[in-house]
Structure 1
Amino acid sequence: MAEAPTLEETSEVLKAGYLYKQGGNIRNWKKRWFILHETTLNYYAKEGDDKEKNTIDFTKGRGIRAKKECNIDDDWPGNAKHCFGVAIEGRTWYFFGEDPSDVEDWKTQIQTCIDKYGKPNTDWKNDTVGQPVNPAIKIIQAISLKMAKMVRSNVDIDTGNEHLNAVGKVGAQVAEDQIAADPHATPQERLKKAGTGVATGIQENVDNDAVKVAAGVAKDQLEADDGLTVEQRLALAGGSALEGVGDAMDNDAIAIAGGVVKDQATADPDVNVKQRAAIAVGSAAGGVKDATDSEAVKVVAKAVEKGAEKAEEKFADGNNGDDNEH
């Protein structure tokens, strides 16, 4: 392996652009702005952000994985035609892009960095990092998943104790999530996923409003980005609690207010006042859209929500919206 470059040498940007990335704990897909250096791949919520959300260390890299060599066949979204994995010690990261030539360039450049500074291995069958799952194991996994889903969804299972019934369903949900998780997820990622499963199960199966509110707060904390500050997490907890109370009281206004607080709490601390105002308007419109039964109000709220998103983007670019461009 080549000697790792100095910080000054790694400051050069080799490539930058948007890709879709799968979350390590919550298996959803988000569009992120990536910046490639010789030994790292940093990603941000959007272009222009100063604070990265995470860094992938190529000195622990194993190599690029083609789609057929990845372990998430059923998890790729329908539009993930140009996709790949990046195997790192302890985890395989999954990506896809919209431009095939751009994706190929990402793959080539990342592999070059790993070849130079990482621990490359193309012998996937004997590689313990990101190794394709054995077909027999896949069959066992599929059967286990089916059993867990049956336990979770079978309302006829009755122990004679409603609390034990709830515990059984929550346990089945956690087992299902763990079975379906990336085989190379870290213990921390698995613990977060288990915690999220428990919180979700409590919300769905426990008939106690106070407990449900607490579970909602815990779930939002577990699903939040690791880069949130203590102040942001406290604000997020307050918003989660407010939202939960609103749902429990069947009070849409309180629930919407909680959603606004949550979005403000998780917003980038560096956003300007106009951006925050746009985010708040969008949050409120989204809450109204979800709460109302009126199709006319839904249409208006959706339009306001989209308008707020566009306004937030303009303000993020330093445009005060005072020009005549349309």
Structure 2
Amino acid sequence: MSVDSLSPSHLKALGLLLEERHVTRAAARMRVSQSAMSKILGKLREAFSDDLLVRVGNRLEPTERARTLQPRLEVILGELEAMAMEVPFDPAECQRWFTFAVSDYVAQFVLPDLLCTLHTEAPGIRVSVITERSETVVEELVENRIQVASAMEGEAPLPPGVVCRWIGTDTFACVGAKGHPLARNCDMEGYLKASHVVVTGGSDKAGPIDRALSARGRQRTVALETSLFASAMEVVTQSDFLLTIPNHIARHLARRYDADVFPLPFEVPPFRYGLLWHERHRRDAAHTWLRRKFETQLKESHYSH
């Protein structure tokens, strides 16, 4: 088999294989069997006279030839998608798989309504949700391992190609058990003496707090890190531990768990929150439609304010 005989389907398969670096996941996204995708990979290797993907430990890694092909391949596939967009997009007929990286809070309280909308308006769109990849979310957007991410504004600038759509602005608040000694008057001494729970994953929730303290030459004691708001609240409501999180999340969780919310004893700059995606999807009608639905849900959900 030669390169000249490759079809658009072969190129799409190659793109998915290089993105996923996993035959089974690439097959699922292409809606073919694992054995069929393995055969396609064999034909691609023959056409390019290169292994393209080689096993390193427990995962597949692209060869140097594959790395040079990938950006050119994205351009070609983007042009093919643009040509396909000349046909009006019909969400009811769309058959796509998207991966979201979101916070535990968004997954629990915001996504259910979005998924109900998809079930009604676009039943062929499937969504995989990841909630514990805050450190690698930008890298995975660049590599197209995820297609949309919820995020809080951080210190580091976004790399070229990653687009942000900020939905709202918020500040931080402190959550403690009902009747917590600091609820009426949380001063710096009491805040620093307390043990703290930190929610990680989905975005940089702890970073702004510790940076603000560090700027004052202070440091808090973190007793527990968890990726789940539910587990954090269970600990907080049964102890004197404190949890410092975005104000809109603090208020909703405090009502749900019957906890107290009170101001921090120091200033932390307001931050923005919203969605991230890669510009490769700027002409992807399905991605644009889904992303706008997500944006609307974030703006209108009472859990976001």
For the aligned pair, the TM-score class normalised by the smaller chain equals: under 0.3
Give the structure with the larger strand fraction.
Answer: 2
Q: Which structure: greater helix fraction?
A: 1
TM-score of the two chains, using structure 1 as the length reference: 0.21
Highest relative contact order (Cα 8 Å, sep 6+), 1 or 2? 2
TM-score relative to the length of structure 2: 0.22
